[in-house]
Every structure is written in C-alpha cells, then in structure tokens.
C-alpha cells in the first residue's frame, strides 16, 4: 500500500533529485496500476478523458467510466465479484464526494476496493492537477527524458 502524502503542508525545495524521485514514484504507481489491470483489476474513473489519460500512460485494460454516482448503482454487483476495484476519481471537491459515495456503496455490497493509487497520485501531482485527465499532460510536460 502507498503511504499518505509525506510533504503535505510543507514546502520542499525542487531539485533535480526531488523531481527525479517524483518521476520515479509516479512511474512506479502507473506501472503497478497497469499490472493490476492486466491481472483483472477494474479501475473506476469519472469520464472518457480520464480513461484517455490513463490509456496514454499505458493503463488501457479494465477502466470503467462512471460519470455519476448513480451509474455504479445500475451495475450488476457480480461484475465486481472476485476482482480488485481501484477507485480513481478526480482530486477536486466533486471527485472527493464521488470517491466517498462509491466507496460506501462498494462496501455495502461487500466489494473490496483500493483507494491507495488515488491517494498516491494525488500527492505526487498535487501542483495544478485536479483531475485524472490531467495526469498524462502533467507527467509528459514535467518529466521528459
């Protein structure tokens, strides 16, 4: 599991090493998420642009769009049976609300779910990234090799 944001509330000096460490952590999180989906996990995102951003990062299997909380209520609980569910909603207020509602619903129907990727990515891309769809442009712009 990923830990909470270690630098939350503290300013840090951005050095090459800090940027490289951030790049490595984002890369690891994305690679781990990709591996999870290749092993059958489902990733719940808010919309098509979020899905496209993940696709550009190589996570192109098992991504489900939920434009509204009600959409998860319409899904057959059997779809989630025996699968890992990763909730990756946006990092803004609406995404926080949706995250809580989805988590509560999944818990009520007995489905285990993982919020660790959301917490980790939110921490790593905190400057100017409020939506999942912005992760790929943020990643590509700041961490060109």
Query: pLDDT tens, 26-63?
Result: 889 999 999 999 999 999 999 899 999 999 999 989 99
Least confident of 5-9, 27-31, 100-104, 138-142: 5-9
Question: CB under 8 Å to 98, separation ≥6 — which residues?
Answer: 46, 66, 68, 69, 89, 90
> Which CATH code for domain 16-142?
3.40.1360.10
Q: Are 90 and 130 in contact (CB under 8 A)?
A: yes
**20-29, 54-63, 111-120: which range is least confident on average?**
20-29
Question: Model confidence over 57-111: pLDDT tens digits?
Answer: 999 899 998 876 677 777 887 888 788 999 999 999 999 999 999 999 889 888 8
């Amino acid at each position: 599991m990923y830990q909470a944001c270690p630098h939350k509330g503290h300013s840090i000096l951005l050095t090459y090493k800090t940027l490289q460490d951030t790049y490595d952590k984002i890369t690891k999180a994305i690679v781990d998420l990709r591996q999870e989906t290749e092993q059958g996990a489902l990733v719940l995102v808010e919309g098509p642009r979020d899905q496209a951003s993940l696709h550009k990062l190589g996570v192109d299997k098992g991504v489900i769009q939920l434009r509204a909380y009600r959409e998860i209520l319409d899904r057959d609980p059997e779809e989630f049976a025996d699968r890992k569910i990763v909730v990756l909603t946006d990092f803004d207020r609406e995404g926080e609300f949706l995250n809580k509602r989805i988590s509560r619903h999944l818990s009520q129907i007995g489905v285990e779910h993982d919020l660790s990727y959301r917490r980790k990515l939110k921490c790593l891309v905190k400057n100017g990234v409020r939506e999942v769809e912005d992760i790929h442009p943020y990643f590509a712009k700041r961490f060109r090799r």
